[in-house]
Every structure is written in structure tokens, then in C-alpha cells.
Amino acid sequence: MEREPLPRPAGFGCQLVAYRERCMPRNPLVGLRVIARTHRLAALHRRMPVIVASEFMRQVFLLNGFSPERVHVLPYFVEIPPEPPPMPSTPAVLFAGRLVPVKGVDRLLHALARVPGMVRLLVAGDGPDRTRLSDLAQDLGLTNRVHFLGWLSPAQVRAVLDRVSVVAVPSLWPEPFGIIGIEAMAHARPVVAFDVGGVREWLRHEETGLAVPADDVGALAQALAALLDNSERARLMGMAGRRAAVERFGADRHVQAMLALFARTISEARP
């Protein structure tokens, strides 16, 4: 799915949309079964409280008939290093995620080709799109600038975060949240992202990073260059992001909010 969700509940009409948007299986024998299963799961979960990570996802649930009082927003949490790591001397960009078309890594490669200098891109992750992306990097003359690191453990991703100056989130589909964004913030790294889904709920434009119009490669390239060419601006945005991560996305805050939600749910369920 490469666009915002259509403003209508999930239903069997989605099968018709699938032919145009390619957002689900186009084979009706498969697609209709997916829709029927979605309806069954939704009917089951409407009876109980639901926790989502963003207000964006809450609105999706409400659109599909869930009661407002049963859908609760509880953002993800992230491990925050005791001290912010220093900015690297050589500018570099990180993408971390599955290598599938909806993650927009091909757009990031095209954007990198427009960024002057020998800025490196580290790609942490694996998936069915890896070969295509590797070929694209070669076609764009980026072979010496793009490094595919493969799948990394969470600890390895955190180590790589300390080696880059900017984190890119070029997703084409509406991210329900985008947890790599708050991981970047915890490590005092600014984020450049397409403005999709729940991204704006953690990315404060011009404060903790830069949000650009979805699927706008030119704007993505300009935003990356703006931070890569101004290390002090990138550092200040990174530190603002770290402060926001400490205030909003720490583990203690998350656990306390979840315990309060559990206690309220139990209280409401008692006769």
C-alpha cells in the first residue's frame, strides 16, 4: 500500500480497490478470504479493550466501528542510552527496516543520488527487495556509498545508530507508528521522514527532524542535504529528539500507563 488508507471501513468493496491500489491480494479467491477473516477478527475484538500505538491507528479502528472508549493509545517505548553518543565525524544516513517496496528504500536511493558529496547510506535489514535495491544502487552509481548490512539484532542496530548522523524513514505506506524514529531520537539523531501515517506523532518538524511530503524524492533529497551539510543543526535537532524521547517514550512511562489502563479495565469489568 503506497497511499493513505481510503476513508471507508474495510469491506468486500476493498477487493475492487485492490486492483487499482495493489494494497492487498488481487486474486479474489485470496482477497475475499482475507476480508472475511478481517471481519471475524474485528467482531471478536470489538468486545474488548484495544491498545494501539498512535492516534492515527485509533482513527482507523474507529472508522471500522470500534467504540471510542475501547480504543486506547499507548505509544511504544525505547531503551534510552545514559549519555547521548557524539555525532560521527563523517556524515552517514541509516535506514533500518524490512526491505520491501512499501518501505520506500528505492526512493531513498534516488534521493541519495541527488545529495552532493560521498555521503554513505547504511541499510540495516533484509527482505525480498534486497536484490532489486542492490541493483538499483549500482545503476545509480552508488555502489561505494551504499552498504547493505543485512538483518541486525536490536543491540546491533543501536550500535549502528551511533555511527550515523541522520536516520531516514522513507515509508510509502502509512506507518502505524515507526518505532525506528523514536530509537533514533533516543540516540540523539534527527530523522528525515515521509509524512505518512503516525509519523507526525513523534516527529516534530523543524524541531526533532524534517517531515517531507510522501513520495517526494526531491524534497527527501533536500531535507537530507540540509542536515548533512549543517552538522550543528543536525546535532541540535538530535538533542531535542533525545529530550522528547526521555519525556514521552521511556519504559517507565509506558509501563505505568499500561498498568493504569489494566486497572481501569478490571474496575470497569467488575459487577
**Domain check: are 16 and 97 in the same one?**
no
Burial class (CB in 10 A: 0-12, 13-18, 19+), 134: middle
**Domain check: are 135 and 229 in the same one?**
yes
**Domain check: are 110 and 170 in the same one?**
yes
**Domain check: are 113 and 102 in the same one?**
yes
* 23 assigned to some structural domain: yes
pTM of the full predicted structure? Answer: 0.86
**Domain check: are 236 and 124 in the same one?**
yes
Q: At what angle do helices 130-139 and 105-114 cross, to 10 degrees?
A: 20
* 69 assigned to some structural domain: yes
**Domain check: are 71 and 116 in the same one?**
no
* 70 assigned to some structural domain: yes
The model's pLDDT over 37-81, given as tens digits with 9 standing for 90+, comes to: 776 776 666 777 889 999 999 999 898 888 998 899 999 999 999
The model's pLDDT over 142-194, given as tens digits with 9 standing for 90+, comes to: 999 999 999 999 999 999 999 999 999 999 999 999 999 999 999 999 999 99
From residue 243, alpha-carbon distances to 145, 183, 184, 192, 259 in Å are 31, 12, 12, 18, 24
Segments forming the whole domain that contains residue 67: 47-77+252-271
Contact (Cβ atoms closer than 8 angstroms) between residue 197 and residue 176: yes
**Domain check: are 155 and 204 in the same one?**
yes
* 1 assigned to some structural domain: no
**Domain check: are 270 and 242 in the same one?**
no
Whole-number average pLDDT of the chain: 89
